[in-house]
């Protein structure tokens, strides 16, 4: 991807993925890496921040003799996703006007 992903957009993407289902770090990392080209070292601080902000929570689940740390969205996180989606819609529409033309005075 030729564009840098800012922290708000990355937060929105992480929370949106978790809104579909709880998942563990590796799957979450691979999902975001395949779509946005981000690294694990970029993702884990985001997860810590979202957890600190009470937008997600974690739990461990045993798998083949080891524990996997799962991430789950909270009610606050779900509300934040709704706000991010409203903001994204407006932002995307404005960028589309600039990139593809259109009435800039709307």
Q: Which CATH number fits domain 7-100: 1.10.10.10, 3.30.360.10, 3.40.50.1360, 1.25.40.10?
A: 1.10.10.10
Distance CA 59, CA 19 (A): 16
pLDDT 10s digits, 2-50? 677 788 999 999 999 999 999 998 999 999 999 988 888 889 899 999 9
Top pLDDT among 2 and 81 is at 81
The whole-number pLDDT of residue 18 equals 97
- State pTM to two decimals: 0.85
Enclosing H/E stretch for 8:
helix 7-20
């Amino acid at each position: 991807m030729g564009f840098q992903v800012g922290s708000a957009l990355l937060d929105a993407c992480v929370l949106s993925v978790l809104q579909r289902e709880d998942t563990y770090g590796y799957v979450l990392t691979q999902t975001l890496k395949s779509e946005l080209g981000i690294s694990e070292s970029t993702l884990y601080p985001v997860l810590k921040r979202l957890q600190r902000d009470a937008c997600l929570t974690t739990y461990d689940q045993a798998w083949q003799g080891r524990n996997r740390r799962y991430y789950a969205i909270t009610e606050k996180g779900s509300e934040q996703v709704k706000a991010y989606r409203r903001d994204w819609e407006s932002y995307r529409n404005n960028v589309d006007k600039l990139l593809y033309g259109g009435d800039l005075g709307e």
